[in-house]
Amino acid sequence: MGMTMTQKILAKHAGVESVTPGQFIEVELDMVLGNDITAPVAIKEFEKMGATDVFDKSKVSIVPDHFTPNKDIKTAQQCKFIRDFSMAKGIENYFEIGEVGIEHALLPEKGLVVAGDVVIGADSHTCTYGALGAFSTGVGSTDMAAGMATGKAWFKVPSAIKFNVTGSFQKWVSGKDVILHIIGMIGVDGALYKSMEFSGEGIKNLSMDDRFTIANMAIEAGAKNGIFPVDEQTVEYIREHSKREYVAYEADGDAEYDEVYDIDLSSIRPTVAFPHLPENTRTIDEVGDITIDQVVIGSCTNGRISDLRAAAEVLKGRKVKKGVRVIIFPATQSIYLQAMKEGLMEIFINAGAIISPPTCGPCLGGHMGVLAEGERCVATTNRNFVGRMGHVESEVYLASPAVAAASAVAGKIAGPEDLE
């Protein structure tokens, strides 16, 4: 029986010829990631384990991005704890706030993940790097601790769902709409324990940023990972950001899939996920009249340069509706800088938005834009669970940067086509 792309990467890293779904394997890791919420727990476990050194100083990344710049004393303590550990162990990829960014935008940008890698991260959106043709998945802090100590992790080999992508986008439609459409179709547990493998001639019409957004939300369908084939765009991205060797894996022609879905990009409309699950999707044509209090544009899902460009294209020469608060949070320092060079920040400020430093901040209701009781927010983030961005009675609507920006101007959920 043939193997899927994911299975091939896992087999190689387990040092075996082939694997089958359901098999338990132990694999060699190319990168182990943690952040300021999960790494403190992992470090304590690492110490309990009796480990002294990390398995490879260049293969551990520690990124303080959730509550940074430190929002209160407790978080300052946590950040100090992981900083001290990183210094003591000589961890090469520890990023202080002047060079930091949201982990899942930062690692690819720093060239720390390339095609063919196996990556675990103590953060559920670690699945983002599937865009690069890597196997990457979220784990907990104990797995991170074990990974740091041994360079290995255990996995149950997943089966896969295939998404056969054709066509190209209509104006104002992007990767976010594709993944919301898919989650709406298969549900938040539609891919539970499985891989989501994307292929087909339409892949070339998805930019790397679109692919990052799509892979980022694979976990929102319950998937173990999402993965894209390696093409010219991938190679160009890797060459631009990394000096490391990459390996391009391909699914076997006779690989088996639990299900196959056809996704025609040209038929996808701007899509919004209503509270309180990412599967509660409606197209922009079906949203009705939903007035809003806040808009956030950024995060590991949609805080990349093309996202900011899309938002700026909508906001240029327009004003945010009075009474709506708009927060833009670029995902990394270099995206921030690029946006400045392109004049996007000026557009945002002139429109009446505020710009936050690169941080997870509002995405998890941490700081920098927490919601009050009864407030509604349109967010380009990836989760709209109860209380996710603040008060348990607040509401989050997930959308693309273009829709979020248009909603900011309209004062209610709207697409760019709805603006004058």
Partner 1 sequence: MGKAFKYGDNVDTDVIIPARHLNTSEPSELAKFCMEDIDKDFVKNVKSGDVIVAGENFGCGSSREHAPIAIKASGVCCVIASSFARIFYRNSFNIGLPIFESKEASSAIQMGDEVSVDFETGEITNITRGEKYKAQPLPEFMRAIIDADGLINYIKKNIK
Candidate segments 136-144, 194-202, 358-366, 393-401, binder of ligand SF4 by CB under 6 A: 358-366
Q: Which does 44 bind (CB under 5 to 8 A by kind): ligand SF4, partner 1, none?
A: partner 1
Please state, in angstroms and rounded to a whole number, the distance separating the CA atoms of residues 302 and 52.
38
In the window 197-226, what residues touch partner 1 (CB under 8 A)?
219, 222, 224
Residue whose pair of structure tokens reads 């833009």 in the numeric block? 328
State which of positions 163-202 bind partner 1 (CB under 8 A).
188-189, 192-193
Structure tokens at 308: 């900011």
Pairing of strands 24-28, 152-156: antiparallel
CA neighbor of 198 nearest in space, from 237, 156, 229: 229
Helices (H) and strands (E) in the chain, counts: 13, 18
Q: How far is the CB of 101 from partner 1 (least distance, A)?
A: 19
Single out the segment in contact with partner 1 by CB under 8 A; choices: 41-49, 263-271, 297-305, 343-351.
41-49
Q: Across-strand partners of 326?
A: 295
In 139-251, which ranges are E strands? Answer: 152-156, 160-166, 195-199, 225-227
Contact call for residue 242 and ligand SF4 (CB under 6 A): no
Task: Name which position in 8, 125, 162, 176 contacts ligand SF4 (CB under 6 A).
Answer: 125
> Which of ligand SF4, partner 1, none does 50 bind, CB closer than 5 to 8 A by kind?
partner 1
**C-beta separation of 408 from 275 below 8 A:** no
- Rule CB under 6 A: say whether 302 interacts with ligand SF4: no
Torsion angle defined by CA atoms of residues 376, 380, 385 and 388, in that order, rounded to the nearest 10 degrees = -70
- According to CB under 8 A, which one of 18, 28, 41, 92 is a site residue for partner 1? 41
Of 61, 68, 78, 381, the one binding partner 1 (CB under 8 A) is 78
Q: Of these, 106, 277, 324, 377, which contacts partner 1 (CB under 8 A)?
A: 277
Contact with ligand SF4 (CB under 6 A) among 141, 174, 294, 299 = 299
Of ligand SF4, partner 1, none, which one sits near residue 299, judging by CB under 5 to 8 A according to partner kind? ligand SF4
- Residues 350-353: contacts with CB under 8 Å, at least 24 apart: 351/315, 351/316, 351/318, 351/319, 351/320, 351/326, 351/408, 351/409, 352/319, 352/320, 352/326, 353/297, 353/315, 353/320, 353/326, 353/327, 353/328, 353/408
Nearer to partner 1, 93 or 141 (CB): 141
**Contact residues: ligand SF4, CB under 6 A:** 66, 102-104, 123, 125, 299-300, 360, 363-364, 381-382
